[in-house]
Amino acid sequence: MTRVASSVIGGVEGNPGWIGLAQHAGPDATGVEIERLIGNQPSRWVTLTGIWLAVAFMAGFGLFVNFQAQGRDTTFAAALMAMIPHFVFWVFVSPPIYRALHRTLAGESRALWFSALTGWSIVALAGSTLMSYLGYVARHGLEPGIGQLVDIYVLGPAGPAFWGMNASILLLAIAAFSVVRGLRLRDQALWFAAQAELAKARLEAQLAEARFQTLQAQINPHFLFNSLNAVSGLVETGARDHATDAIARLGELLHMALRNGSESKATLGDEVDFLERYLALCKLRFGSNFEFSISMPESLRSRRVPALLVQPLIENSIRHGMETQRRLSVVIRVYERRATVVIEVEDDGSGIGPESVASLPVGHGLANVRERLRLCFGDSAVLRLEPRHPRGTRARIVIGSQSKDFAL
């Protein structure tokens, strides 16, 4: 009888080990996984069994210390074997108790699930008591009987102490299961928040891609219009040979524009090759009134930039720089400066006023370039327009060193 009463001490000391189960509750992505203690992870049985055996170990140690204090002759192994059958039963009733507790706290069909929780709690108390009794009669070589069970585990003086221990185990188990459930709900909330942030980032990337493609699509009509205008000017002046040459060059340009325009990015080498043909076409149109030069080191030819990035800058120079009976010179420089790539387009035309630079309308070629730079490189790339003295305009694109490539 004393042995049974003494086990109360071991039971109370052992139950804090249940907090370890909360530390083993991994993040679950679905409500079903939160609802079930084991779920689709069989390895949790190992964790659950280990925790209950740890509780049994501490309860057995408490029983052993109590017996030693009373001067009773026993071993720690015997005290431990007295506890193991009792706590092993709790391993198997823990999952249904946890699920009934979760559904009760969740609020749906609360009365039904509270009844289930009460029922499984009674099963846990009665079953663990029966396991303790069967272990007791096995160790002592006794014949089991109802009267003996009632005498040892129900009637005084040991019965009330034993049931006090059993009730404390149930309450501490429910408290531990509540902690596990709370941690899983927290992990689920964090998972859903992370998924929402990921979905938001993906949506923003898709919107940026759509915006970029829209801006890219605006380039081709502008380019085609200006190229056809160049050919039209040659036909009007009667320069048939030059017009024929221009049409051939226009065919090459259209082929390159369609190829580059279908991609969101191109190499600086491709851009320069395209610009040389485009400027040669402009040269046919304007004749000796138009001069151009392009310089770029070979080391930058493989650097990637948005496709058809520079052509709108040249178009802007011609539109604002050409005057009747006046020459126009356009100089394109591509170079590297302190780990940044700089693309400059300079002209000596009439220029563009500061007020025009500050308020570029949506759809304007330069506004298009500025927006595509922002979408591709964020704050690490910039387009600036500056007046040149005594006349002319300088358009400068600066792409930072941290933007060696871009995702679009």
Q: Give the list of residues 6+ apart from residue 24 with CB closer than 8 angstroms, or none.
A: 44, 47
Mean pLDDT within 204-226: 59
Q: Is the pLDDT of residue 13 over 50?
A: no
Q: Tokens 């941290």, residue?
A: 402
Q: pLDDT tier at 212 (50, 70, 90 boundaries)?
A: low
Domains of the chain, with CATH numbers?
2-199 (no CATH), 237-399 (3.30.565.10)
Q: Tokens 């909330």, residue?
A: 189
Report pLDDT for 1: 33
Mean pLDDT within 14-43: 57
Report pLDDT for 324: 52
The region of weakest confidence among 30-34, 114-118, 125-129 is 30-34
Q: Give the chain's mean pLDDT.
A: 78
Alpha carbon 369 to chain centroid, angstroms: 30
Q: Give the CB-side neighbour count of residue 210, counting CA atoms within 13 A.
A: 6
The region of weakest confidence among 153-157, 182-186, 362-366, 390-394 is 362-366
Q: Tokens representing 361?
A: 């309308």
Report pLDDT for 94: 94
How do residues 47-59 score in pLDDT, each as one tens digit?
A: 999 999 999 899 8
How do residues 102-111 score in pLDDT, each as one tens digit?
A: 999 988 788 9
3-state secondary structure of 348: coil
Percent of the residues in the chain that have a pLDDT greater than 70, as a whole number: 73
Q: Is the pLDDT of residue 14 over 60?
A: no
CA angle 320, 280, 224 (to 5 degrees): 65
Q: pLDDT tier at 2 (50, 70, 90 boundaries)?
A: very low
Mean pLDDT within 299-324: 83
Report pLDDT for 63: 81
Q: Tokens 């025009």, residue?
A: 356
Round to whole Å and give the CA distance between 1 and 4: 5
CB atoms within 10 A of CB 307: 22
Report pLDDT for 278: 83
Q: pLDDT tier at 320 (50, 70, 90 boundaries)?
A: confident
The region of weakest confidence among 2-11, 111-120, 265-274 is 2-11
3-state secondary structure of 169: helix
The values of phi and psi at residue 377, to 5°, are -120, -5
Taking a C-beta distance cutoff of 8 angstroms, is the pair 101, 70 a contact? Answer: no
- Choose among 40, 42, 37, 39: nearest CA to 22: 37
Taking a C-beta distance cutoff of 8 angstroms, is the pair 47, 21 a contact? Answer: yes
Taking a C-beta distance cutoff of 8 angstroms, is the pair 176, 22 a contact? Answer: yes
Q: What is the value of pTM for the model shown?
A: 0.50
Q: pLDDT tier at 113 (50, 70, 90 boundaries)?
A: very high
Mean pLDDT within 323-347: 87
Q: Is the pLDDT of residue 203 over 60?
A: yes
Round to whole Å and give the CA distance between 50 and 83: 14
> Strand pairing of 393-399 and 381-387?
antiparallel
Of 351 and 324, more confident: 351
Report pLDDT for 93: 93
Mean pLDDT within 348-368: 65
How do residues 58-76 score in pLDDT, each as one tens digit?
A: 988 888 888 788 888 888 8
